[in-house]
């Protein structure tokens, strides 16, 4: 059975693993999910990314989750643009997540980038998710 929203699945796996206080989580690999994971690592929300393979032999990403004083660093991770309702923003409409404490992840013509990078480049795009 095919998955209709793989990015939402990735975010849900991260959210569920943090609720169970897991150190790592396996996510099926794709270029977009690898780039989202790289942004989360650059922004300090996860510790590491490693290549792994699942039992069925398909490639996967192993994300090492980050905790401070036994609390997850990611307090909220939310999917914004969904397959049924896409959300696009211009360069002037890029949201400030929790007054700049969080980060939004956008899919732009320059690739998948963080909201800080999109403001620097002056580009808008599809608002994939927000992280705080």
> How far is residue 129's CA from residue 52's CA, in Å, rounded to a whole number?
24
Give a yes or no: residue 87 inside a domain. yes
- The pLDDT value given to residue 54: 79
Query: Which pLDDT score, from 0 to 100, does residue 57 have?
Result: 85
13 and 63 belong to one structural domain: yes
Measure CA 126 to chain center.
13
Write down the pLDDT at residue 53. Answer: 86
* pLDDT score for 116: 96
Are residues 62 and 94 both part of a single domain?
no
Of 47, 72, 97, the residue that ends a domain is 72
pLDDT tens for the chain, residues 1 to 132:
578 999 999 999 999 999 999 999 999 999 999 999 999 999 999 999 999 987 788 999 999 999 999 999 999 999 999 999 999 999 999 999 999 999 999 999 999 999 999 999 999 999 999 999
Q: Are residues 62 and 93 in the same domain?
A: no
Q: Number of folded domains in the chain?
A: 2
Contact call for residues 47 and 66 (beta carbons, < 8 A): yes
How much is the pLDDT for 55?
Answer: 72
The CA distance from 21 to 103, in Å, is: 23
**30 by DSSP, 3-state: which?**
coil
Q: What is the per-residue pLDDT for 6? A: 97
Strand stretches in the chain, DSSP E? 24-28, 46-53, 59-65, 67-68, 71-72, 77-79, 88-89, 103-108, 111-114, 125-131
């Amino acid at each position: 059975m095919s998955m209709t929203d793989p990015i939402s699945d990735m975010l849900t796996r991260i959210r569920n693993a943090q609720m169970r206080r897991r150190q790592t989580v396996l996510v099926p690999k794709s270029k977009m999910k690898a780039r989202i994971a790289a942004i989360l690592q650059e922004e300090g929300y996860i510790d590491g990314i490693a290549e792994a393979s699942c039992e069925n032999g398909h490639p996967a990403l192993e994300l090492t989750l980050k905790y401070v004083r036994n609390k997850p660093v990611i307090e909220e991770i939310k999917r914004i643009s969904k397959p049924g309702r896409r959300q696009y923003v211009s360069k002037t409409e890029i949201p400030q997540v929790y007054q700049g404490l969080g980060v939004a992840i956008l899919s732009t013509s320059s690739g998948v980038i963080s909201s800080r990078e999109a403001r620097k480049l002056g580009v808008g795009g599809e608002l994939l998710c927000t992280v705080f």
